[in-house]
């Protein structure tokens, strides 16, 4: 069946550091891929998405590229801020949404 694997957290970085959160997927067919972010005490917000191979999703300085050859959708940001501290979920949608386990990110000032 379909699945999503994310790097285990928590990830702790200093402000202005470069961020990568790894995400790989297993799927039959060609699902759409998503990153959702959950700030403390809140619901999930769609951060970015990509619907086909080589698509790049981007939003708020975050980027992720749909790599079919490596079945990956890694999240990157060039310079993180304290306000980026949150839990990040990688997900795919085939007939229903499949979430990864989430990666908690702490940014230190």
Partner 1 sequence: DTEVTQTPKHLVMGMTNKKSLKCEQHMGHRAMYWYKQKAKKPPELMFVYSYEKLSINESVPSRFSPECPNSSLLNLHLHALQPEDSALYLCASSPLSGGVETQYFGPGTRLLVL
Q: Which stretch binds partner 1 (CB under 8 A): 16-24, 33-41, 62-70, 77-85?
A: 33-41
Minimum Å gap between C-beta 79 and partner 1 is 26
Backbone angles phi, psi at 30, to 5 degrees: -125, 85
Backbone angles phi, psi at 84, to 5 degrees: -80, -5
Which two structure tokens, joined as six digits, stand for 53?
């191979």
Backbone angles phi, psi at 41, to 5 degrees: 75, 10
Minimum Å gap between C-beta 44 and partner 1 is 4
Binding string to partner 1 for residues 35 to 74, with x set by CB under 8 A, is what? -x----xxxxxx--x-x-----------------------
């Amino acid at each position: 069946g379909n699945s999503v694997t994310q790097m285990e957290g928590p990830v702790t970085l200093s402000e202005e550091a470069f961020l990568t959160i790894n995400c790989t997927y297993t799927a039959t067919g060609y699902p759409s891929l998503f990153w959702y972010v959950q700030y403390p005490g809140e619901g999930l917000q769609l951060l970015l998405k990509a619907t086909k191979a080589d698509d790049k999703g981007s939003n708020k300085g975050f980027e992720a590229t749909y790599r079919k050859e490596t079945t990956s959708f890694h999240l990157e940001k060039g310079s993180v801020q304290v306000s980026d501290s949150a839990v990040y979920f990688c997900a795919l949608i085939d007939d229903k949404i499949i979430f990864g386990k989430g990666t908690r990110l702490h940014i230190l000032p």
